[in-house]
Amino acid sequence: MKKTFRVVVGIALTLALASQYSVVQAATKSAAKATSAKDVGGLAELIKLAKKEGELNTIALPDYWANYGNVIKGFEKKYKIKVNSYDPEASSAEELVAVRTLKGQDRMPDVLDVGLQFAVQGAQEGLLAPYKVLTWNDIPAAAKDVKAQWYSDYGGYIAIGYDANLVKTPPKSFADLLNPIYKNQVALNGDPTSSNSAFLSVMATSIAAGKGVKGANNIQFALDYWKKMKESGNFVPVAATPATVEAGQTPILLDWDYLHAKYKGQSGNVDWKVVVPSDALLGGFYAQAIVKNSPHPAAARLWQEFLYSDEGQNLWLQGGARPIRLDAMVKAKKHDKDAYANLPAIPKGVTPIFPSLQQQLLAKATLTPAWPKL
Report whether pLDDT(153) > 50.
Answer: yes
Report whether pLDDT(270) > 90.
Answer: yes
Please give the model's pTM, rounded to 2 decimal places: 0.83
Query: Does residue 62 contact residue 68 with C-beta atoms inside 8 Å?
Result: yes
Query: Does residue 208 contact residue 175 with C-beta atoms inside 8 Å?
Result: yes
Averaged pLDDT, 215-219:
97
Report whether pLDDT(186) > 90.
Answer: yes
Beta strands, E only, 200-335: 252-256, 272-275, 283-291, 322-323
Categorise residue 66: left if φ over 0, alpha if ψ from -120 to 50, beta otherwise: left
Q: How far is CA 288 from CA 85, 112, 309, 325, in A?
A: 15, 6, 14, 13
What pLDDT digit, counting tens, does each position of 336-374 carry?
999 999 987 788 888 899 999 899 999 999 999 999 999
Which pLDDT score, from 0 to 100, does residue 348 have? 85
Query: Does residue 245 contact residue 272 with C-beta atoms inside 8 Å?
Result: yes
Residues of the chain with pLDDT > 70, as a percent, come to 92
What is the distance between the alpha carbons of residues 106 and 345, in angstroms, rounded to a whole number? 43
Report whether pLDDT(217) > 60.
Answer: yes
Q: What is the DSSP letter of 169?
A: S
What is the distance between the alpha carbons of residues 21 and 10, in angstroms, rounded to a whole number? 16
Query: Does residue 321 contact residue 258 with C-beta atoms inside 8 Å?
Result: yes
Q: Which among 110, 107, 101, 154 has a CA at the least distance from the CA of 129?
A: 110
Which pLDDT score, from 0 to 100, does residue 10 have? 43
Which pLDDT score, from 0 to 100, does residue 79 have? 98
Q: Across-strand partners of 284?
A: 156
Query: The dihedral of CA 287, 70, 194, 359: what is its sign?
Result: positive
What pLDDT digit, counting tens, does each position of 65-86 carry?
999 999 999 999 999 999 999 9
What is the distance between the alpha carbons of residues 75 and 307, in angstroms, rounded to a whole number? 9
Averaged pLDDT, 290-315:
98
Could you please report the per-residue DSSP string of 103-152? TTSTTS-SEEEEEHHHHHHHHHTT-EE--B-TTGGGS-GGGB-TTSS-EE
Q: What is the largest CA-CA distance in the chain?
A: 91
Q: Which among 259, 355, 357 has a CA at the least distance from the CA of 316?
A: 259
Averaged pLDDT, 294-323:
97
Domains and CATH numbers, the chain: 35-154+284-341 (3.40.190.10), 156-283+351-373 (3.40.190.10)
What is the distance between the alpha carbons of residues 254 and 275, in angstroms, rounded to a whole number? 10
Which pLDDT score, from 0 to 100, does residue 29 have? 65
Phi, psi dihedral angles at 336 (to 5 degrees):
-75, 105
What pLDDT digit, counting tens, does each position of 13-63 carry?
444 444 444 444 555 568 999 999 999 999 999 999 999 999 999 999 999
Averaged pLDDT, 158-177:
97
Question: How much is the mean pLDDT over the chain?
Answer: 92
